[in-house]
Structure 1
Amino acid sequence: MARLKRWARELSVLLLILLAATFVMDWWRAPQAPAAFSQQMLELLDGEPVSLAQLSQDKPLLVYFWASWCGVCRFTTPYVARLAANGGNVLTVALRSGNNQQVEQWLAHKKLRLPVVNDERGALAAQWQIGVTPTIVVIAKGEVVQSTTGWTSYWGMKLRLWWASLYLF
């Protein structure tokens, strides 16, 4: 019994250290939203104009910065697509992944349906100071309420959106 308690205590300490390291890394690598980002008009691959402020007004918006060449994105992007397919408020930004046709072909090849803003030259990523792909930013009522970098699970994204929905009240 004493051995089991020791293992449980050591596992708890390890989880706390891991959690603390995750929070520190997210804080350190957090993107910096441009001053007037919520007023900026972006254009989806199909030419439709979108506004982050408008998209995040009624429910939190998950903005997913990814790249076709990103290894970690291979694991996260399908979860983002699943979230979007299940009614999640999602907008994605393809970073330096080619022109619109190349991004559309990549999405079709992977059988993914996502609302995508193509950041062909990385200008949008530079404005946001995105240094890591993937990066997830949650926006509520036109304000950044949280962000994370690296791999995130489907349930992790849902939890972030739920948490941000509390901000709306």
Structure 2
Amino acid sequence: MALEVTDATFDEVVLKSDKPVMVDFWAAWCGPCRMVGPIMEQLHSEYEGKAIIAKVDVDAHQQFAAKYGVRNIPTVLVFKNGEVVEKQVGVAPKSVYEQKINAHL
């Protein structure tokens, strides 16, 4: 399962990571988010050891969603060295997410 990140763990898990981190900002009530979820689960398995695939529930943890201007969900951000290097708003095919993470490996 993709790593659940909270406001309390975001800094340590995402911003201080030495690997690229793909973060899916989602909510349980969001239909399109349920389409992205299984893709994130697959990527979590496929990129284990190379990148971190994480999820932030924006209903429970709003601090970093607000900080990074997440207005629509799902929004997927890729972080490298603590900076946002890629962004995908809305549902996209798995290949789009792979391309975004591969660009930073």
TM-score, structure 2 as length reference: 0.78
Kindly provide the amino acid, as one letter, of the partner of residue 146 in structure 1.
E
* 1:81 correspondence with 2:28: no
**How far 1:124 sits from its partner (Å)?**
2.8
Kindly provide the amino acid, as one letter, of the partner of residue 127 in structure 1.
K
Give matches, 1:1-169, under 5 Å.
42-43=8-9, 50-55=12-17, 57=18, 59-86=19-46, 87=48, 88-96=51-59, 118-119=60-61, 122-165=62-105
| Matched pairs, number | 96
- Helix, strand or coil for the counterpart of 2:79? strand
**Structure having the higher Rg:** 1
Which ranges in structure 1 are unaligned for 5 or more consecutive residues?
1-40, 97-117
Deviations 1:87-135 (A, max 9, x none): 2411110111xxxxxxxxxxxxxxxxxxxxx41xx33322222100000
CA distance in 1, matches of 2:70, 2:80: 19
Kindly provide the amino acid, as one letter, of the partner of residue 65 in structure 2.
A
**How far 1:164 sits from its partner (Å)?**
2.1
Ranges of 4+ aligned residues in structure 1 off by more than 3 Å: none
Q: Which has the higher strand share?
A: 2
TM-score, structure 1 as length reference: 0.51
**How far 1:154 sits from its partner (Å)?**
2.0
Which ranges in structure 2 are unaligned for 5 or more consecutive residues?
1-6
**How far 1:63 sits from its partner (Å)?**
1.0
1:42 and 1:51 in contact (8 A); partners too: no
**How far 1:136 sits from its partner (Å)?**
0.7
Identity over aligned pairs, percent: 25
